[in-house]
Amino acid sequence: MSENYKKLINDTIKTIINQFHRKPDNFFNEYDFHQYCFHAFYLQKEFTKQYMTKDGKKTNVLHPEYLTLERFKRKPEGRVDPKGVRARYDIVILNPEFIKNNDFETVRCRDIRKISRGNKAKNIIAALEFKFIIKHRQNYLNEIKFDHLKLANDKEVEHKYMLVFTNAVKNKIEYLKGFTFKESIKAVYIAPKKIGEKKLIIEEYPYRWLYKK
């Protein structure tokens, strides 16, 4: 089942890239962009199928702002810390078996004591982190590093994605070049080549994981 989801996820990411290519100025800020990304995933019927929890409540697999199991501290440098706070994934696709085999409160993941934290407990089929940059700034690099930290430490997630988009050209920063990604994480950087041109730079890490030859 996760392989079927994997193809749908890749296709949806391509849809988002195509929309950005066609209408890069449709998005005023990151929240604006996140709304479209969730909409693009919601249009996939497989992601909106309803599954029943053990206590008789129905929910689908697609959810935004889903809580991590690990706790983190951001300052002075992002790190895992049991005394920190739980972070959130921008979008997750839950494992239907996780939904069917647990009660609703466990699936919501509000109470961490209810969740199995073993390496084999892949409660989440995919977690996605999106970044939308409207003006190049160094602090975005710190945010990207924190997104990577979240995904690198999520034993409950099977497929992990980082997507960085920008419609800014001036004072460009190479956010992902030279960045060391954990092997389990797939990333893509999307940016315009020049001011006023629709042609895009598409950088994939690892190379051609999305647009295969």
Residue at token pair 């466990």: 106
pLDDT digits (tens, 9 = 90+) for 60-112: 999 999 999 999 999 888 999 999 999 999 999 999 999 999 999 999 998 77
pLDDT surpasses 90 at 30: yes
Q: Would you list the domain boundaries of the chain?
A: 2-205
Rg (CA), the chain: 17
pLDDT value for 172: 86
pLDDT digits (tens, 9 = 90+) for 132-177: 999 999 999 999 999 999 999 988 999 999 999 998 888 888 898 8
pLDDT value for 102: 93
Report the C-alpha gap between 154 and 150 in whole angstroms. Answer: 6
SS (H, E, C) the chain: CHHHHHHHHHHHHHHHHHHHHHCHHHCCCHHHHHHHHHHHHHCCHHHHCCEECCCCCEECCEEEEEEEEEEEECCCCCEECCCCEEEEEEEEEECHHHHHCCCHHHHHCCCHHHCCCCCCCCCEEEEEEEEEECCCCHHHHHHHHHHHHHHHCCCCEEEEEEEEEECCCCCCCCCCCCCCCCCCEEEEEEEECCCCCCCEEEEEECCCCCCCC
pLDDT band for position 119 (50/70/90)?
A: very low
Report the C-alpha gap between 150 and 79 in whole angstroms. Answer: 9
Whole-model pTM?
Answer: 0.93
Which residue has better confidence, 119 or 116?
A: 116
pLDDT value for 174: 87
pLDDT digits (tens, 9 = 90+) for 36-52: 999 999 999 999 999 99
pLDDT value for 117: 58
Question: For 20, left (φ over 0), alpha (ψ -120 to 50), or beta?
Answer: alpha
Report the C-alpha gap between 144 and 90 in whole angstroms. Answer: 13
Length of the chain: 213
